[in-house]
Chains A and B, each alone.
Chain A
Amino acid sequence: MAEEKKKKAAGSVVITVERCKGCGFCVEFCPPHALKLSDQYNVKGYHPPALISREMCNGCNMCGMLCPDFAIYGFLQNKKSGKGSDRER
């Protein structure tokens, strides 16, 4: 896919908000700095992360590797499958 178009790899994240404990590992160590801690609270009272903008995410899954609570996961978006893998659907 990268060879077809000289575009940056497009990725996104899936966040299981209620599992998050707000440690901030994903936000601090995201290589393209695409995440921030949300202003929202989850039921435990933590601020879960949120994507600043989808264009910034490259789907490297560093957030997923670092998350101690298995609450976030980054993935490469497959454009051919349309919106099926799009988290804003």
Chain B
Amino acid sequence: MAEELYELDENLPVNPVESLLRMDRMPHIWCPGCGIGTTVNCFAQALESSGLDLRKTAIVSGIGCTGRVAGYLNLDSFHTTHGRAIPFATGLKLANPELKVVVYSGDGDLSAIGGNHFIHAARRNMDVTVILINNSTYGMTGGQVAPTTPMTAVASTTPYGNFESAFNLPALAESCGAVYVARWTAFHVRHTTKAIKEALLKKGFSFVEILAPCPTLYSRRNKLGDGLAQMVYYRENSEIRHGADTKDVALEFQGKIIVGKFVDRVRPTFGEAMDRYLRERLGADYLPATAGGA
């Protein structure tokens, strides 16, 4: 068996995800059992099957464990300041409306430090795809309580358990105006891939929340076992409910997880609204940046 394990054969097929990764930066920093790498597989496959021009696709991340994704993907990528992934993405999209801009970051980055940017990008219906990896804690900085940490969960800053209500991110995104809202877990790889593909092809602010295990900080402090145990929990406690009212999908500590595609609607994007309004207002004097607008 040992010889077989270490045998290398150049004729063997190469892992297809490698063409989208910067393999010189591997191995990555994520812990054993972390679910972020799994979501990267889903993203890579969704991107390939979406048929988008990779030379016109940009990925923007903030700071944190998930923020490293931009550095590992072999696309035009932008590793920005903490919480400011969406403002950078907005600027990128407005300056070059031809680009498909994807924000790939964590819950702490997008919903806490960057919470304001998140709600305003959704309100404006900025044409960006936001993929939020929710591991329920601040992984990179040491497991502090995050706005997504469920009630009663132990974090390094809440040794007796968390007493703050957690954000219900799908409800937040929907109420602010996102046109596509879905939630899956790192266990649901096929569903996640499909959701990311739909989000990438959707015009407007599309939002996919993916729950992922954080075995080193969140699971360990809460005595939930390793990453695999958390994935088994996702398998056994997830309920697929497409079109569910996002008010009913709040997460509880080790409770039932409602997953599915919750919102898929059409609203004018920021660029379309700007073009339409200014064309009415200014007539022939208005020169739009591109035919389609941002």
Chain A residues at the B interface, C-beta cutoff of 8 Å: 14-17, 19, 21-25, 28-29, 38-40, 46, 48, 50, 62, 64-70, 72-73, 75, 84-85, 87-89
A82 and B253 CA atoms in complex are apart in Å by 52
Known: A65-B41, A69-B27. 8 other contacts (CB 8 A): A23-B227, A70-B17, A72-B15, A73-B14, A84-B11, A85-B11, A87-B9, A88-B7
B4 at the interface (CB under 8 A from A): yes
| With A29-B231, A85-B12: A69-B1 Cβ-Cβ less than 8 Å | no
What are 28 contact pairs spanning A and B, CB under 8 A?
A14-B15, A15-B5, A17-B6, A19-B26, A23-B32, A25-B33, A25-B227, A29-B231, A39-B1, A40-B5, A46-B32, A50-B1, A50-B5, A64-B41, A66-B189, A67-B41, A68-B35, A68-B36, A68-B41, A70-B15, A70-B18, A73-B16, A85-B11, A85-B13, A87-B9, A87-B12, A88-B4, A89-B11
Closest to A89 in B: B9
Residues from chain A with Cβ under 8 Å of B227 in the complex: 23, 25
A48 and B13 CA atoms in complex are apart in Å by 19
B35-50, CB under 8 A of A: which get 1 and which 0? Answer: 1111011100100000
The tally of CB-CB contacts under 8 A between chains A and B is 100
Q: Are B5 and A38 in contact (CB under 8 A)?
A: yes
A15 and B14 CA atoms in complex are apart in Å by 10
Residues from chain B with Cβ under 8 Å of A68 in the complex: 30, 33-38, 40-41
B28 at the interface (CB under 8 A from A): yes
Closest to B215 in A: A23
| With A28-B228, A65-B38, A68-B35: A40-B13 Cβ-Cβ less than 8 Å | no
Chain B residues at the A interface, C-beta cutoff of 8 Å: 1-2, 4-7, 9, 11-18, 21, 26-28, 30-38, 40-42, 45, 187, 189-190, 193, 226-228, 231-232, 235
Residues from chain B with Cβ under 8 Å of A16 in the complex: 15
Residue among A21, A65, A88 making CB contact with B193, cutoff 8 Å: A65
Residue among A22, A39, A50, A65 making CB contact with B45, cutoff 8 Å: A65
A72 and B235 CA atoms in complex are apart in Å by 21
Closest to B42 in A: A65
Residues from chain A with Cβ under 8 Å of B6 in the complex: 17
A6 to chain B, nearest CB (A): 26
A65 and B13 CA atoms in complex are apart in Å by 15
Residues from chain B with Cβ under 8 Å of A38 in the complex: 1, 5
Residues from chain B with Cβ under 8 Å of A21 in the complex: 27, 31-33
Q: Are B32 and A40 in contact (CB under 8 A)?
A: no
Nearest 5 A/B pairs, CB to CB: A68-B37, A21-B32, A73-B15, A65-B189, A23-B33
Residues from chain A with Cβ under 8 Å of B41 in the complex: 64-68, 70
Residues from chain B with Cβ under 8 Å of A84 in the complex: 11
Q: Are B28 and A14 in contact (CB under 8 A)?
A: no
Q: Are B232 and A67 in contact (CB under 8 A)?
A: no
Residues from chain B with Cβ under 8 Å of A14 in the complex: 12-15
